[in-house]
Structure 1
Amino acid sequence: MGTLFEWHIGINETGARNSSGEILSPEVYAAGADTLPTRVRAVPADPQASWTLDQVADWLLGLIESETRFLAGINHRFSFPASYFEQQGLRSWRDLLADREVLTDEGEGPFVEAARFNDGLPGPERGWRMTERWGNSLTCMFQYDVRGLNDSSHSALPWLRRIREHAGSRLHVWPFDGWIPPEDRSVIAEVYPLQASNYYPRKWRGPAEQNAYTISRWLLEADELGILNGYFRPQLPERICRAAAVEGWILGVH
């Protein structure tokens, strides 16, 4: 039995910082239909070269141009809680992407925004999306003390908008473009690698590499086992599905 996708890509982008305060570069692992994940370098000839998110976008767009069908998982949030949409008067996920582009251009930091959001809508439950409640996530979008993950969740939305606009109909951003991806499209989905991090020995990989490796291998094995379609269409109540249309969903939470 063949796989649905040619490549299964894991991208770690947590916004974590090193001891000097610099944001660590993304890590990328990829697996073919018959191969285990291997690390993909920003410059193949230079093992010291680091990725930027823009370079990752260009690489994925290159795969789309070459008609290589892939499933890519990345560990940052693709959207905000429904309460944020209500507060800001946003009607759709597309509105959110455009809004984030403006705020990023104006230089507004995500934690300034988080403070305004929390002040305007008091109550700890306001910052949680349905997928985080359903999947028992340890963090929510507007927690002040989880800077790495939440930094990337705020700042990477313009990146997601860019790759989606350039790829057009050749890319399916799950689940916003529909729960079941068409057979001729590549797919990008939000994932949470800690759900499967203990499945695979770490060996020589550091935490960021292990996250990217875990995502890639988990997607590959789910595809090989024929259970991806079950992940793409989780059995959820209709009210949860409606919320996910704007809040998004974590692949594998069901």
Structure 2
Amino acid sequence: MRFDGFVAIDWSGASGPAYAGIAVARCRAGMAAPQLVRPADARGRWTRSAVFDWLVAEGDRNQRLLVGIDMAFALPAPFEAPPQLWARIETHCAQDADFTGHRYVEGDTRFWRSGKQPADWIGHQRPAELACIAQGLGHPQTPLKLIGPKQVGLGTLAGARLLHRLREQRPARWAIWPFDDVARDDRRSACVEIYPRLFIRKAAGGNAKLRSGAALDAALQALGSEPAGLVHFDDHQADAIIAAAGLRRTAEDRALWRAGAGQERGWIFGVAAAGEALRAQQQVSVQTMAATAIEVATPAMKPQKPQTTRGRTRR
């Protein structure tokens, strides 16, 4: 599948005026090493709004980009599936600046929002996360977890608003995989869900952070990229750099594009299609989550607590 450039975004759902944690890296088709994209902000920090503006501007240029964002593009059942989910989160949070999504989860006990893990909390995962774990590509956390350094839930809520806005403002410029058929549309740029740990595992064979220039360059070379030659970078920047190279390599594999077909809860780009045994496990998870939704909706008539195991945690 042809793309002119590849962009990876290490995303953040943090609140407040001075949050850190967002990094952007890009590379062109070929073998050149990914380069960090520096924000225009004088403090040298990306905001979610600045990322959106940058994506709109880049998408309006005469190029086709593949953009990976480190967030879940959907929530597990029985939450609404995208794009309805994105629109609902945007409606709930429209008054909140900078794509913040915290307001959407207020009062919903299906989300782990603070403190120790609640005794009755069930951390359901989507089919994509279960498949990633089964294939030994990492342990992505459920987007229902909103606490801890490895959580992706807050970023998922904020990212849903960004995806909704892209779809609303630039429908002719952007496709969102796997909800849009990217394979049959060779003109629009595309957004995909990524899990940077997956690319590190594929390149380095382990789970360790890439914290030296030598380790980063070795992983890049394993993904068919020239070395970056960087000395100073943080974990977020390393994740974005390796993910950009991983996107470029993975985009060549048509089977991995097909893996997301029909997945209304989204799919992690780079994870192969799930097997039949895993599909059965996913169905059990969906049924249990539905029972939990009933309990939340009707507290006066609580059904018997479903017998299930806790969801596995991410990263």
Give the TM-score, by structure 2 length. 0.64
> Are residues 1:37 and 2:34 paired?
yes
Which residue is 1:152 aligned to?
A: 155
How far off its partner does 1:53 sit?
1.5
How far off its partner does 1:155 sit?
2.0
Larger radius of gyration: 2
**Pairs within 5 Å for 1:135-146:** 135-136=132-133, 137-146=139-148
Give the TM-score, by structure 1 length. 0.78
Identify the structure with bigger relative contact order (alpha carbons < 8 Å, sequence gap 6+).
Answer: 1
> Are residues 1:103 and 2:92 paired?
yes
Percent of paired sites with the same residue: 23
Which residue is 1:250 aligned to?
A: 268
For the residues of structure 1 that align with 2:74 and 2:239, how far apart are their CA atoms? Answer: 21
List per-residue Cα deviations over 1:2-33 (Å, max 9, x = no partner). Answer: x711111010003468xx99531521000012
Which residue is 1:28 aligned to?
A: 24
List per-residue Cα deviations over 1:34-86 (Å, max 9, x = no partner). Answer: 3210011122xx7743221222122121122112110000101111112223x
Asked whether the 8 Å contact 1:114–1:142 carries over to 2, the reply is no
> Are residues 1:115 and 2:109 paired?
yes
User: Kindly tell me: are residues 220 and 144 of structure 1, through their superposed partners in 2, closer, same or farther at Cα, counting changes over 3 Å?
Assistant: closer
Asked whether the 8 Å contact 2:7–2:27 carries over to 1, the reply is yes
Single out whichever of 204-213 and 192-201 deviates more from structure 2. 192-201
For the residues of structure 1 that align with 2:249 and 2:110, how far apart are their CA atoms? Answer: 42
How far off its partner does 1:220 sit?
1.8
| Aligned partner letter, 2:165 | R
Asked whether the 8 Å contact 1:11–1:27 carries over to 2, the reply is yes
Which residue is 1:88 aligned to?
A: none
> Are residues 1:70 and 2:70 paired?
no
| Aligned partner letter, 1:208 | H
Q: How many residues align?
A: 228
> Are residues 1:134 and 2:136 paired?
no
Secondary structure of 1:251's partner? coil
How far off its partner does 1:168 sit?
0.9
> Could you list the runs of 5+ residues in structure 1 that have no partner in the other structure?
86-91
For the residues of structure 2 that align with 1:144 and 1:171, how far apart are their CA atoms? Answer: 28
Asked whether the 8 Å contact 2:111–2:146 carries over to 1, the reply is no
Asked whether the 8 Å contact 1:37–1:213 carries over to 2, the reply is yes
> Could you list the runs of 5+ residues in structure 2 that have no partner in the other structure?
97-101, 113-119, 134-138, 205-214, 217-230, 273-315
Asked whether the 8 Å contact 1:10–1:30 carries over to 2, the reply is yes
User: Kindly tell me: are residues 179 and 130 of structure 1, through their superposed partners in 2, closer, same or farther at Cα, counting changes over 3 Å?
Assistant: farther
Asked whether the 8 Å contact 1:12–1:75 carries over to 2, the reply is yes
